[in-house]
Amino acid sequence: MARRVFFSVHYDRDVARVAQVLNSGVALGRGDTACGVLDSDEWERIRSGGDYAIVRWIDEQLRGTSVTVVLIGTETANRQWINYEIVESVKRGNGLLGVYIHNVRDRDGLTTAKGQNPFDFLTFRNTGAKLSRTYPTYDWVQQDGRRNLARWVEAAAKQADR
């Protein structure tokens, strides 16, 4: 089944690693499309419009998606817009997963420290349980994301009945 997959990223810190992940021949499922990732000029234009413009852009990007993939870098966890994207994804019933990208080498060939799990900072309202108890995380390098992302996305969609 073709899906729109939203990628949640901390743009400023992780743009080089995110670009490598998304431009690496990553295989989403047949017919799947990625959304939510933009270039620096577009991000600056949206950000210059203030919080309302950012919320509007995120909401538009999430429209029609069935799965949200949080690409987790060193400083991704507990950021305002990452949290908003996660909460909105849960509200919409999206499948949700995290993928650590700290081991992806940047343009200089360097890796960075593993960030905290962003799902540890958010809880379900009705139970108070951390989202990390429900939503899985993977490591792009150690668990071969290039080969496995489509399978991870499909598993998240099935978990959410999407």
Domains and CATH numbers, the chain: 4-159 (3.40.50)
Q: What is the pLDDT of residues 104-135, one digit of tens each?
A: 998 889 999 999 999 999 999 999 999 999 99
Q: What is the pLDDT of residues 52-75, one digit of tens each?
A: 999 999 999 999 999 999 999 999
Cα(31)–Cα(3) distance, integer angstroms: 7
Q: In sequence order, what are the residues at sequence separation of 6 or more whose Cβ sits closer than 8 angstroms to the Cβ of residue 42? A: none
Cα(130)–Cα(66) distance, integer angstroms: 21
Cα(90)–Cα(142) distance, integer angstroms: 27
Provide mean pLDDT across the span 24-50.
79
Task: Note the pTM of the prediction, 2 decimals.
Answer: 0.93
The token duo for 52 is 């309302």
Q: Taking 70 as the threshold, does the pLDDT of residue 27 lie above it?
A: no
